[in-house]
Amino acid sequence: MVAQRGDLWETVGMANIEKFVPKNGQVVTAQGHEGTFKVLNVSEDGQKADIQPFTLSRQMLMGAVMRGVPCSTLHHFKEDASQAAARIVKEAAKDK
């Protein structure tokens, strides 16, 4: 919603969204990519990161490193108990 007061426009009701800056070793998701990734390195300015696919069930790095991924496309990985159970069953079925 935008409110006008004289010739001053201001945005009303916008939440302050804290910018997510990943840390080395953190498990994240990446916009436009499936699965989870481990952060290997974050640039000094916090704008880009090197990430690698990471399997939660095996706690292993898998696949090629993706370098220079914009941190704005990375999100903290959150998983509740039911999601974890479903993931474990799905990954176990894949391994057979």
Q: Does residue 28 sit within a domain?
A: yes
Question: For the segment 16-58, what is each residue's pLDDT rounded down to a tens digit?
Answer: 556 788 999 999 999 999 999 999 999 999 999 999 999 887 8
Residue 45: the pLDDT is 93
**Residue appearing with tokens 């990954």:** 91
Q: Does residue 59 sit within a domain?
A: yes
**Which is it for the CA torsion 29, 16, 83, 80, positive or negative?**
positive
Q: Does residue 94 sit within a domain?
A: no
Q: Is the pLDDT of residue 13 over 60?
A: no
Residue 72: the pLDDT is 94
* Closest C-alpha among 35, 38, 36, 42 to residue 72: 42
Q: Does residue 14 sit within a domain?
A: no
Distance CA 14, CA 22 (A): 24
Domain extent, residue 63, equals 22-78
Distance CA 50, CA 52 (A): 7
62 in Cβ contact with 54 (< 8 Å): yes
Q: Does residue 83 sit within a domain?
A: no
Residues 6+ apart with CB under 8 A from 74: 20, 22, 28, 29, 30, 31, 37, 39, 49, 51
Rounded to an integer, the average pLDDT of 55-84 is 89
Number of domains in the chain: 1
Q: Does residue 36 sit within a domain?
A: yes
pTM for the structure as a whole: 0.67
Q: Provide the percentage of residues in the chain whose pLDDT is more than 90.
A: 51
* Closest C-alpha among 75, 20, 78, 25 to residue 50: 25
Q: Does residue 91 sit within a domain?
A: no
Q: Does residue 65 sit within a domain?
A: yes
Check which CATH number belongs to the domain holding 46 and give it: 2.30.30
